[in-house]
Amino acid sequence: MSKVIAILNQKGGVGKTTIAANVGVSILKRGHIASLWWIVTRKALYGIGAQQMRVSLYLLLV
């Protein structure tokens, strides 16, 4: 049986990435399979605006 663990908070600097990485490593050390996804919800990332993106997050996940 698979489980989904989501770590989210809109505020920056609260340790979301650190917690997610540590939980992922802990799961792997216990012999389970883990897939970590880091999804940034900002409108612009690395100079690419939302209007310039050809694939939406919805299309990637479905």
CB 28 within 8 A of CB 36: no
Predicted confidence (pLDDT) per residue in 16-49, tens digit: 888 888 998 999 999 998 888 777 665 544 555 5
Taking CA atoms, 17 is separated from 24, 32, 49, 62, in Å, by 10, 20, 23, 24
Look at residue 46 in the predicted model and tell me its pLDDT. 53
| Higher pLDDT among residues 6 and 59, named by residue | 6
Dist CA 46 CA 12 (whole Å):
17
Domain boundaries, the chain: 16-61
